[in-house]
């Protein structure tokens, strides 16, 4: 999936979501609607508390697009990944306070790609479906709340938390295990409320006691009390009385780790990525996590230094934002010998070194690189070069782009012939009619090809 600061594409249970600077577009297959006329969806466009304004409902040939206004003040749920733990718990607490599923007869999506927040107590929802709209009826409300909360707190995808809760629970701490075992929304609400109070207080204690050398006696008493409080909702069901000292020591270690997490996240929010990565590394985060952190924040060279396999995502991201020139300056670690030639070829594509491109084509295996090579040929009107790429790779988008170029050339030639018909030509009417028909056919063909290209690219974006 491609990302930049102003655009993000994802999927939710009923379709795809496209987030841009000031609006969210949800695109849903027309086949999953049962209305007779689009105006039957008008009720969902009425203003509703807790929901973003639905500013437009548009019907296309294959999809229905719902457009929501997104104010500058709120953030998409994916941004919670960089928030402090207390903020994550506060938003989860607000979710359970809202109880949006219990307060409407409509279906409401709890997928993170459809939700927005603002610290500490604001959650905004988007997709709500009446009886004529797509919905996912497989999961009970408690499972959907549970999956969303687990996803927010663990960073594991919503889909995995929904379908493999047991696996998420096994890898989680006592809080995660308790949340995973909750059987009702009420139980989830109670666990989250106590955990939120605990972590907020813990953070205050952390910031105070770290400055004075972590007063162990005070911390011990605080943690013991916190353990007893959380025990009321099941977090301490895993600890017997004789394990209390071990549990408290473990929580102390978790608080030390949490302090480093908070400091690292604060560095991230301030754009101090090197300091953040250093703290995350000290906290045991693996190189893959650190490389992805660099990548998500646009530090592509740093990502490649840690994980050279990010080459394709980096090239895709720079190409998508029009920053092709930055590809020229990219380097890979010496140990990434198998990717060095591919990076060099990407640089030749940017520089449009035709000889190097044609020489490399017989040995090229990457379809993504081949696509960029073909597009470079087309951008420079080297149609023969694009055809050579298509001889080796079946790239539908490139084939359509080439067909459009060839159709445009035929169209220009037909228009030229029409303009050259003489007024005194005895067959001028017949000749003009023939050329006008040819022009009409070519124009229609071009429009058809452009529609096919648009659909193909949209499909590729949704799949990617």
Residue carrying structure tokens 């353990």: 227
Note whether 305 and 383 are same-domain residues.
yes
The structural domain count of the chain equals 4
CB atoms within 10 A of CB 157: 13
| Distance between CA atoms of residues 329 and 308, nearest Å | 15
Tell me whether residue 37 is in a domain: yes
What is the rounded distance in angstroms from the CA atom of residue 53 to the CA atom of residue 429? 57
Indicate if 377 and 404 belong to the same structural domain.
no
Domain limits for position 443: 396-459
Question: At which of 23, 39, 69 does a domain end?
Answer: 69
User: What does the pLDDT read at residue 232?
Assistant: 38
Is residue 33 classed as helix, strand or coil in its secondary structure? coil
Cα dist from 201 to 86, 95, 149, 444, whole Å: 9, 20, 20, 67
Q: Are residues 383 and 404 in the same domain?
A: no
Domain boundary among 394, 413, 429: 394
Q: What pLDDT sits at residue 107? A: 94
Answer yes or no: is 364 within a domain: yes
Q: Please check whether residues 309 and 355 belong to one and the same domain.
A: yes
In this structure, what token pair is assigned to residue 305?
Answer: 């230094």
- Cα separation, 311 vs 299, whole angstroms: 12
pLDDT at 117: 97
Tokens at 257, concatenated: 């780790």
In a domain, residue 216? The reply is no
Helix ranges, 110-140 (H): none
Domain boundary among 69, 85, 119: 69
- Flag whether 91 is in a domain: no
Whether 316 maps to a domain, the answer reads yes
- Tens digits of pLDDT across the chain (464 residues): 333 345 567 889 899 999 988 999 999 998 889 998 998 899 999 999 999 999 999 998 899 999 999 998 899 999 998 888 888 999 999 999 999 999 888 999 999 999 999 988 899 999 999 989 999 878 999 999 999 999 999 888 899 999 999 988 887 777 888 899 999 999 999 889 888 877 665 555 554 443 343 333 333 333 444 444 444 334 444 444 445 455 555 555 666 666 677 677 777 767 788 888 898 888 888 888 898 888 888 899 999 999 999 999 999 999 988 899 999 999 999 989 889 999 999 999 999 999 999 999 999 999 999 999 999 999 998 999 999 999 999 888 888 988 998 898 888 988 888 888 787 777 878 888 888 888 899 999 989 888 888 887 766 554 44
| pLDDT reported for residue 461 | 52
Instruction: Please check whether residue 232 lies inside any domain of the structure.
Output: no
> CATH number of the domain that 33 lies in?
3.30.200
Token output for 238: 């895993």
Contact in structure between 37 and 159 (CB atoms under 8 Å): no
| 328 within a domain of the structure (yes/no) | yes
DSSP 3-state assignment of 76? strand
**Sign for the pseudo-dihedral over CA of 22, 320, 266, 98:** positive
Judge whether 96 lies within some domain. Answer: no
Bridge partners for 129 per DSSP: 107
Looking at the structure, do residues 348 and 425 belong to the same domain, yes or no?
A: no
């Amino acid at each position: 999936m491609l990302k930049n600061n102003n655009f993000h594409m994802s999927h939710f249970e009923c379709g795809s979501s496209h987030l841009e600077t000031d609006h969210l577009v949800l695109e849903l297959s027309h086949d999953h609607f049962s209305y007779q006329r689009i105006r039957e969806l008008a009720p969902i466009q009425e203003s509703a508390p807790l929901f973003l304004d639905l500013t437009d409902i548009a019907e296309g040939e294959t999809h229905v697009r719902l457009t929501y206004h997104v104010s500058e003040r709120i953030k998409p749920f994916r941004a919670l990944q960089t928030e402090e733990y207390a903020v994550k718990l506060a938003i989860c607490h607000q979710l359970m306070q809202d109880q949006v599923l219990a307060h409407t007869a409509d279906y409401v999506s709890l997928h993170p790609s459809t939700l927005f927040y603002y610290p500490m107590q604001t959650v905004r929802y988007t997709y709500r479906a009446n009886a004529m709209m797509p919905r996912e009826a497989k999961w009970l409300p408690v499972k959907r709340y549970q999956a969303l909360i687990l996803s927010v707190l663990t960073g594991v995808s919503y889909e995995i938390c929904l379908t493999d809760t047991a696996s998420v629970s096994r890898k989680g701490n006592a809080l995660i295990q308790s949340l995973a075992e909750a059987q009702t929304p009420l139980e989830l609400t109670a666990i989250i409320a106590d955990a939120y109070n605990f972590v907020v207080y813990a953070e205050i204690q952390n910031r105070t006691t770290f400055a004075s050398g972590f007063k162990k006696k005070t911390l011990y008493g605080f943690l013991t009390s916190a353990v007893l409080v959380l025990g009321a909702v099941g977090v301490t069901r895993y600890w017997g009385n004789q394990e209390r000292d071990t549990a408290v020591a473990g929580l102390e270690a978790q608080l030390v780790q949490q302090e480093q997490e908070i400091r690292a996240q604060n560095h991230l929010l301030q754009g101090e990525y090197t300091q953040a990565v250093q703290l995350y590394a000290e906290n045991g985060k693996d190189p893959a996590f650190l490389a992805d952190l660099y990548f998500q924040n646009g530090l592509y060279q740093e990502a490649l230094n840690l994980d050279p396999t990010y080459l394709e995502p980096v090239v895709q991201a720079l190409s998508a934002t029009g920053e092709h020139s930055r590809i020229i300056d990219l380097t890979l670690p010496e140990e990434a010998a198998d990717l060095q030639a591919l990076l060099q070829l990407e640089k030749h594509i940017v520089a449009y070194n035709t000889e190097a491109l044609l020489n490399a084509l017989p040995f090229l295996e990457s379809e993504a690189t081949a696509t960029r090579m073909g597009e470079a040929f087309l951008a420079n009107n080297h149609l023969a070069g694009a055809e050579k790429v298509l001889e080796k790779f079946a790239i539908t988008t490139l084939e359509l782009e080439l067909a459009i170029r060839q159709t445009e050339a035929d169209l220009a030639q037909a228009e030229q012939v029409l303009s050259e018909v003489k007024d005194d030509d005895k067959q001028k009417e017949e000749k003009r009619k023939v050329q006008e028909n040819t022009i009409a056919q070519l124009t229609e063909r071009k429009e058809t090809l452009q529609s096919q290209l648009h659909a193909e690219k949209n499909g590729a974006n949704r799949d990617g």
